[in-house]
Structure formats: structure tokens, C-alpha cells
Amino acid sequence: MTLSFDGRVAIVTGAGGGLGRTYALELARRGARVVVNDLGGARDGSGSSDTAEQVAEEIRAAGGEAIANGASVTDEAQVEEMVAAARERWGGIHILINNAGILRDKSFAKMDIPDFRTVVDVHLTGSAICTKAVWNGMRDQAYGRILMTASSTGLFGNFGQANYGAAKLGLAGLAKTLHLEGAKYNIHVNTIAPTAATRMTEDLLPEAMLTAFDPALVTPGAIYLVSDDAPSNVILGAGAGVFQACYVTLTPGVALPADDRSVEAVAANWDRIVDRNGEIVPESGAEQAMLILQQLSKG
């Protein structure tokens, strides 16, 4: 079975290089019309260039349809213009891959708040701005596929990336609520946590890993998650052709007796509280509250 994107319109942010470029090329190869967005800045977000145009040209040269767009994902007006231009040319937007990102790595002790804000602004707020710009249109047409880009740093932590990690786990959180709000409009929202040799990781990944981690090996996972057949509410780890699912789980925990809900009782029950036997993956925040009530009723 071939997954076709004929008739679909996709926006891929940060698609002037790295992973975003591979997503844009693959979507176009499978028939989608693609907006190749990229500010074309340096890894830390400074400056700009015409990398989006280069990728759009690459798509057109291969017989696909693409327009380049140099909007910063952090600029609401520019993003709205980008979406309006794509709609005017091709009708509705069906797919949004929020992929744009920057790095300002430093240990938290040395990180200043402007560097924290800027990284959160590009990854998290930028993704919210782009999503907001396509959201109502997706609801109206009862079709949408949105992919957020998290990272192992957000999910599990990484030294020197407090700003980046905060933004990246934020994206997984954003996806979870949008999944719930989008479900009845056939909007599927997923998250990818890629590992790939790009300029973002060139000095982080050891030499031997750089070849194995070709960004094109992440692409099948990303493209599946924005296809007609895509699941929703998935966090997919993807790198070097390996695909993994990541879950936020909840242990059954312990209902402390009404007469002893003290700090000491928490300490005494710690092993049972963190015991992963019987842990579940709640489908929403409300489910956790329900489970608390169930625990109480057992006690």
C-alpha cells in the first residue's frame, strides 16, 4: 500500500535544511503541495538567508509543487500571511509540521533568561502560532494532521539544554491537549522526537554516529504521522531507521489512610508510590482525577 498525499497541502516549518528539508521533499514526492518555510538563520537563530527558496526549487526541479516562505515562526503576522498565501493558491491547509528550531546551549548556571525565552519562543510559542494559524481552517474542513517536534532532551533531559528541554516537553504537552480538542474535527496531532545528524547535532553526536543517523531515516516516521492513516496522540522516537513509542505513564500509587496523610506516611510508602506494576497511560488529565477517586474508594 502506498501512502499518497495527492491533493494535500502541507506547511513544513524550518524546512530549509536538516530534517525539515527531508520532510518537505518526501511530502512533495508523494504528491503534496508544500510550503517550505525557513527563516534561514544560523543555529542560534541569528541572521537569515534563502534556504527555503533553495529547497522549494529542489522540489520544483523534481516535478513537485512548492512555494518558499521566509516567515519567522515567532511572528504572528508573518505566519498568518504565509497561511493566507498558501490558502489563496491551493485552498485549505491539511498538514502542518512544526519543525523549526534553534539552540542556545549552556548549563543552567550560565544561561541567561533572554536565551531561555528565545528558545522557548521559537520552539514552543512558534509552534503554537503556526498551529493557531491553521487550526480553524482545519476544523472547518474537518481534516488536519499536525506534527510537533519534541526531543529526547524534552522527554528525558540533557545536560546544558534546560531552555530547549523545557520547550520540547512543552510541545508534547501542547500536542496532548490539541489531540483532545481536535479529535471530533478529524485533526490528528502527534509528536516526533528525532535523532539525526544535522547542523544541530554535528558537534553533539560522535563521528561514527553521524553516518548512521542520516536525517532521511527519520522521515518515514514523520510522514506516516501526517498521513491519512496517522494515529493521534503518539510520541514517536525516530532515528537511524529505529522507531519507538514514548509514553507518559501513571503508577497506581497509594491512597494514604485518612488518619495519616503526613510527610512521614509519604516517605514510608515511597516504594509503593513509585512501583510501576500496573501503571497505565491516561488518555487525558481527567482520567488521573478519576483514578484518584477510584483509589480512595478502594481504601
**Which cell is 110 given?**
550560565
**Crossing angle between the packed helical segments 51-61 and 18-29, to the nearest 10 degrees:** 30
Q: Which position among 16, 165, 182, 221 is part of the footprint of ligand NAI (CB under 6 A)?
A: 16
CB atoms inside a 10 Å sphere around CB 5: 23
**Which of 36, 39, 59, 187 lies at the binding interface for ligand NAI (CB under 6 A)?**
39
Name which position in 3, 30, 31, 43 contacts ligand NAI (CB under 6 A): 43
In the bound state with ligand NAI, the residue whose beta carbon lies nearer, of 19 and 34, is 19
Task: Give the interface segment with ligand NAI, choosing from 70-78, 129-137, 178-186, 246-254 (CB under 6 A).
Answer: 70-78
Among left, alpha and beta (phi > 0; psi -120 to 50; other), residue 259 is: alpha
* Chain residues 219-238 in contact with ligand NAI, contact rule CB under 6 A: none
Q: How many residues does the chain have?
A: 299
> Of 87-95, 137-145, 190-198, 284-292, which segment contacts ligand NAI by CB under 6 A?
190-198
CA separation for the pair 126, 122 (Å, rounded)? 5
Does position 19 interact with ligand NAI (CB under 6 A)? The reply is yes
164 is catalytic: yes
Catalytic residue of the set 143, 164, 224, 247: 164
Q: Residues 26, 83, 129, 151: which binds ligand NAI (CB under 6 A)? A: 151
CA distance 167 to 154: 7
| Residue (of 266, 254, 261) closest to 291 by Cα position | 254
Name the segment binding ligand NAI (CB under 6 A); options: 58-66, 84-92, 173-181, 199-207. 199-207
| Residue 149 binding ligand NAI, by CB under 6 A | yes
The string of DSSP letters for 123-168 reads IIIHHHHHHHHHHHHHHHHT-EEEEEE--HHHHH--TTBHHHHHHH
Catalytically annotated residues: 164
Binding site for ligand NAI (CB under 6 A): 13-14, 16-20, 37-41, 43, 45, 72-74, 99-102, 122, 126, 149, 151, 194-196, 198-201
